[in-house]
Amino acid sequence: MTYEEKLSEIFKAIGRKAVLEQAIEECGEFIHAAAKQLRILRGTNYTPVKLSENSNNLLEETADLELCLCLVATAFDCDRKKTDAQIERIKAEKLERWLDRLNIKGGNDEQHDKEILARHNAQNDAGIQRKQNELQAGSNGGLAEDDISAENSVMSRTADKKAN
């Protein structure tokens, strides 16, 4: 089973609400490990946990959080490649903004931006084709019934707002 298939199976098994709950929990665990790392580095609020032990824990919590973030992306757009491309584009923009705020030169790398845009376009095209295939096959993309009704509700509210 591929990475994407595993994410899809987890999403199908637990649904959107549980994915969000898990993401919240993992964010909290990551924050806890990061805060402990700061306590250790500052040395002002003693903890018996060693830096190496906490660093390993911080890496584990980072991995858990990244998995949950992938699941969140899956929960809101079943086309992982399209979502990944969107996230990469947003990350590139935010990275540039961060460099600009810190007045760090060389932040605007046109070649890197072109590569991200090309990857985004290719992945988006593939995602559109896959969605069209799913629609022709009558697939709901693996969404649980409560997820479908939630999406329909959001689309209905959006249409209502546009009409008003």
Residue 97 near residue 105 (C-beta atoms within 8 A)? no
Enter the tokens of residue 68. 């949950």
Q: How many CB atoms lie within 10 A of CB 95?
A: 13
Q: Is 37 exposed, middle or buried (0-12, 13-18, 19+ CB in 10 A)?
A: middle
Alpha helices (runs of H) in the chain, residue ranges in sequence order? 3-42, 51-76, 80-101, 110-137, 145-163
CA 144-146-149 angle, 5° bins: 110
Single-letter code of the amino acid located at 81: K
**Per-residue confidence (pLDDT) for residue 85, from 0 to 100:** 86
Structure tokens at 3: 């990475």
Alpha-carbon distances, residue 26 vs 21, 111, 136 (angstroms): 9, 35, 37
Looking at residue 57, its pLDDT comes to 97
What gap in Å lies between CA 29 and CA 65, rounded to an integer?
A: 9
pLDDT (tens place) for every residue of the chain, 164 residues total: 998 889 889 999 999 999 999 999 999 999 999 999 999 999 988 899 999 999 999 999 999 999 999 898 887 766 777 878 888 999 999 999 999 989 887 655 566 556 656 665 665 566 566 656 666 665 444 444 444 544 444 444 444 444 54
Confidence at residue 153, expressed as pLDDT on a 0 to 100 scale: 43
Please state the pTM of the whole predicted model: 0.59
Backbone angles phi, psi at 44, to 5 degrees: -100, -15
Calculate helix-pair angle for 3-42, 145-163, nearest 10 degrees: 80
Residue-range domain boundaries for the chain: 1-77, 79-140
